[in-house]
Amino acid sequence: MNAKTSERGSFGSQLGVILASAGSAVGLGNIWRFPTEVGKGGGAAFILIYLLFIFLLAMPLMLCEFTIGRASGSNAIGAYQKLAPGKPWVAAGIMSVLGGFLVLSFYSVVAGWTLHYTVTSAAGELQRSADFGQAFTDFVSAPWPPIGYLVAFMLLTHFVVARGIQAGIERYSKVMMPLLLIIIALLVGCSLMMPGAGEGLRFLLKPDISKITSDVVLSAMGQAFFSLSVGIGCLVTYSSYFNKDTRLVRSAMNVCIIDTMVAVLSGFIIFPTVFSVGLAPDAGPGLVFITLPNVFRIAFDTMPWAGYAFSLLFYVLLLLAALTSSISMHEICTAFFSEHFRLKRRWAACAVTLLCIVLGACCSLSFGAWKEVTLFGRGFFDLFDFTVTKFLMPLGGLLMTFFVGWYLDRRIVVHQLTNGGRLNIPCLGFLLVLIRWIAPLGILVIFLNELLSNS
Ligand code: PHE
């Protein structure tokens, strides 16, 4: 078994562990989806609830994934076969791998749009467009260009994953994550200096309790899970590459803090600028692709070079974030394929890339040529998004908290969290209560509520 474990590869350092896991967490979910949800959910009130869910539900769930992954040293399905052989728990693993395919397929569509915006921004074309809304609609509904960008993005992801854990995922995360943090700091600085930025800050910092409805509560929970990449076996897979000295609780805390910081800072980039030019904060998914280019144009009317730099930096940031996340989604499937079918990593990665390109193309076409093609009343993109965020993630998360909180021997859990008793975790008792009671109950409430409100 030792030989097999070393064949699988592992992360080389604690920093690598944190940056790769934070890379998975920080993505379009933080920079594109979070501001969209904040805009719709009324600003600060949404953020408050979101923070609560990150630390009460998503962080314990992350610890469950870390425990399953490191205790088994196996891919998302193999983990359950090892820890609970012959038991139906493997269904949770199957949902993870299926979820990995679905999430990567629709994610790579938006990532492809991001690549297109990065390229056109670099070429100065984006800035010349007469009507950003029309340009966006024309682009996403044309059949071929978005598919071309999706394929290019998938190839970038493939390139990193195929190289393996240390030489691929860890190495590139160590470059991309610091770069991402630097770009964010630069953009926050610029954004706060814009005239009238104060109103955007007020929107982000002053909670209006009357805005908190049950719907806002539910979206905040969904957003917390999506943003931390939990409930889908992604972190089970990553933690199977942790070594015996990796500190699970500290790593989880760090990842939660980095992810939350990036989400909130993205709010600090977007809302002050949006308010400063008098646009609406609740533009939905078009916020980043339609409202922002407009912001860049209006704000830097007299300094086009600054508009150019700001917009290019922003899309590069979005692209880097998308890439570090898509790598982790790809890895869920690649690890399973290569271990289960005993394929070379390279070939397993090729199979995953090809399949995701096909599924991703179906999602992309649902914005144009296949608009009318629906399954269960939804186009492919919506269907995949819905299945993952509203169904597979909460259900997968629920199963994982039950598995770790109630099924696994408590000694295994404590052994993992304390590295075999070598670490003194002062809040261990509290963490175990979160894992056993608070997280499963909280998730059950979201899940049932979603199910009932959609049936
Ligand atoms: N957490 C990622 C983001 O915020 C999305 C993601 C979901 C990544 C599931 C991996 C698995 O964009």
Distance CA 411, CA 409 (A): 5
5 confidence band (pLDDT: 50, 70, 90):
very low
Is the CB of 191 inside a 6 Å radius of any atom of ligand 1? no
Ligand 1 pocket: which of 227, 230, 235, 331 to mutate (most atoms within 8 A of CB): 227
Whole-structure pTM value: 0.92
User: Band of the pLDDT at 359, cuts 50, 70, 90?
Assistant: very high
SS3 call for 199? helix
pLDDT at position 1 is 37
pLDDT (average), residues 153-158: 98
Ligand 1 atom with least separation from CA of 27: 12
For ligand 1, the distance from its centroid to the CA atom of residue 182, given in whole angstroms, is 21
Phi, psi of 367 (to 5 degrees): -90, -5
pLDDT at 6: 45
* Pocket flag, ligand 1, residue 29 (CB < 6 Å): yes
Q: List the Cα angle 364/368/373 in 5-degree steps.
A: 85
Q: Does the pLDDT at position 258 exceed 70?
A: yes
Instruction: Give the span between the Cα atoms of 65 and 154, in whole angstroms.
Output: 26
- pLDDT for 286: 77
pLDDT at residue 271 tops 90: no
Residue 54 and residue 260 in contact, taking contact as beta carbons nearer than 8 Å:
yes
CA distance 123 to 34: 28
Residue 261 reports pLDDT greater than 80: yes
pLDDT in tens, 87-120: 999 999 999 999 999 999 999 999 999 999 999 9
Taking the centre of ligand 1 as the mean of its atom positions, its distance from the CA of residue 67, in whole angstroms, is 19
Q: Residues near 123 by Cβ (< 8 Å), separated by ≥ 6?
A: none
Around Cβ 433, how many Cβ atoms within 10 Å?
Answer: 14
Contact 322, 28 (CB under 8 A): yes
pLDDT band (50, 70, 90) for residue 420? very high
Compute the distance from residue 337 Cα to the ligand 1 centre, in Å: 20
- The per-residue pLDDT for range 424-443, each reduced to its tens digit, is 999 999 999 999 999 999 98
Give the residue whose CA is nearest to atom 9 of ligand 1. 229
Confidence of residue 307 (pLDDT cuts 50, 70, 90): confident
Q: Residue 378's beta-bridge partner residues?
A: 375
Give yes or no for residue 7 having a pLDDT over 70: no
Taking the C-alpha atoms of residue 92 and residue 443, their distance in angstroms, rounded to an integer, is 15
Confidence label for 126 from pLDDT (cuts 50, 70 and 90)? confident
Q: Is the CB of 229 under 6 A from ligand 1?
A: yes
Of residues 357 and 212, more confidently modeled: 357
Query: pLDDT band for position 455 (50/70/90)?
Result: low
Over residues 7-33, the mean pLDDT reads 89
Q: What is the pLDDT of residue 43?
A: 87
Mean pLDDT, the chain, integer: 90
Work out the percent of the chain whose per-residue pLDDT is above 70. 97
| CA 227 / ligand 1 centre spacing (Å) | 5
Locus of tokens 């079918």: 341
